[in-house]
Amino acid sequence: MGLFSKIRDGLKKTRESMSASVSAMLNSFTKIDESLFEELEELLIMGDVGVETAGRVCEELRRKVKEQGVKDPNDVYDLLRTIVADMLRGGEELKIGTKPSVILVIGVNGVGKTTTIGKLAALLGSQGKKVILGAADTFRAAAIEQLEVWAQRSGAELVKQTQGSDPASVVFDSIAAAKAREADVVICDTAGRLHNKKNLMEELSKISRVIQREAPDADREVLLVLDAATGQNAVSQAREFQSAAEITGIVLTKLDGTPKGGVVLSIREELGLPVKFIGVGEQVDDLQTFDADQFARALFERQEETNETDHSDA
């Protein structure tokens, strides 16, 4: 299966829910008028794009329709795809040019954080990078054991302490191991739940200070893992974490199991955070580097295009 087909299949539920409705709506119009834009905005909101973002999409669409003199409602579909790709583009690539580089992975329990770390380790390993995993989620029962399984699957090395240990101490040990073993990347797990927001901020600040002290010149990514199935709640979660950590990008998981993939647009527009990876399945290679053009194409794919893709993959 090609990479685009994997992304397209992962977005199947969102596409069937949102873009099929948009396509049917456009087909019901014989001219482009304000009623078309109003109905489109409603459909985007229902697709978890978010009220503010849906408004911005439609404003940009109005501008392009006027600027290009578009008359046929069916041509709106391609314009919409272009606008969505333009809104999502930028900042997708990981900044991991130093040796070692540090990736801190944060997010609430249940979003697929540990699984994401394992898949990311496998992806980087397939690119020839030596990866060390730091089991700094020392609060949750079985978190260390889960990461150990993923380390074995991905071929990464694991640095761990006992449950209840100081997470910052695990990060310290992980960076020291990366230096000693000449690893390319350190990926650190973190607790998904602490007692309150103040504790979360303090824990993340402490970890950040350790990274800054032990690897001051290292490239650093702070990736927030969000579950796409939670829709607009994912945006609220991101806001909370954004106030507690210097997030550099989003990993959106479980896109294949939800019709709420439109939330990607809200996250990008309302929070200004780039989506770096998307999870489109259970397999180890189902964590995909985010590509705005492919995402927009998969989200708003016409039936005839689907048939052509299926034929080319056969």
108 belongs to an annotated ligand binding site: yes
pLDDT score for 274: 94
Output the pTM of the full model. Answer: 0.90
190 belongs to an annotated ligand binding site: yes
Q: Cis omega (within 30 of 0) on the bond before 274?
A: no
98 belongs to an annotated ligand binding site: no
* Residue from 193, 182, 174, 191 nearest 102 by CA: 174
Residues 152 and 218 in one domain: yes
Handedness of CA 90, 229, 96, 9 (dihedral sign): negative
Residues 175 and 256 in one domain: yes
233 belongs to an annotated ligand binding site: no
291 belongs to an annotated ligand binding site: no
310 belongs to an annotated ligand binding site: no
CB atoms under 10 Å from CB of 1, counted, come to: 9
Q: Which residues contact 21 (CB under 8 A, 6 or more apart)?
A: 43, 46, 47
CATH number of domain containing 66: 1.20.120.140
Residues 158 and 261 in one domain: yes
The 8-class DSSP code of residue 283 comes to S
Whether residue 96 is contained in a domain is answered as: no
pLDDT score for 312: 53
255 belongs to an annotated ligand binding site: yes
10 belongs to an annotated ligand binding site: no
193 belongs to an annotated ligand binding site: yes
256 belongs to an annotated ligand binding site: yes
Residues 171 and 303 in one domain: no
CA gap 42, 37 in Å, rounded: 9
192 belongs to an annotated ligand binding site: yes
213 belongs to an annotated ligand binding site: no
107 belongs to an annotated ligand binding site: yes
134 belongs to an annotated ligand binding site: no
249 belongs to an annotated ligand binding site: no
Written as tens digits, the pLDDT of the chain (314 aa) is: 556 677 788 778 888 888 788 889 999 999 999 999 999 999 999 888 889 999 999 999 999 999 999 999 989 989 999 999 999 999 999 999 999 999 999 998 888 899 999 999 999 999 999 999 999 999 887 899 999 999 999 999 999 999 999 999 999 999 999 999 999 999 999 987 655 667 877 888 899 999 999 999 999 999 999 998 888 888 888 888 887 788 999 999 988 887 888 888 999 998 899 999 998 888 888 898 999 998 888 888 865 555 554 555 54
Domain that holds residue 55: 3-90+298-313
Whether residue 95 is contained in a domain is answered as: no
Residues 25 and 149 in one domain: no
Residues 125 and 57 in one domain: no
253 belongs to an annotated ligand binding site: yes
Residues 265 and 302 in one domain: no
Question: For tokens 């606008």, what's the residue?
Answer: 83
Whether residue 28 is contained in a domain is answered as: yes
Whether residue 234 is contained in a domain is answered as: yes
Residues 41 and 186 in one domain: no
CA gap 180, 182 in Å, rounded: 6
Which two structure tokens, joined as six digits, stand for 9? 């299949």
Q: Are 191 and 76 in contact (CB under 8 A)?
A: no
Handedness of CA 285, 291, 296, 301 (dihedral sign): negative
CATH number of domain containing 271: 3.40.50.300
The number of distinct structural domains making up the chain is 2
One-letter amino acid identity for 167? P
Whether residue 176 is contained in a domain is answered as: yes
Residues 146 and 61 in one domain: no
Residues 133 and 258 in one domain: yes
Residues in the chain: 314
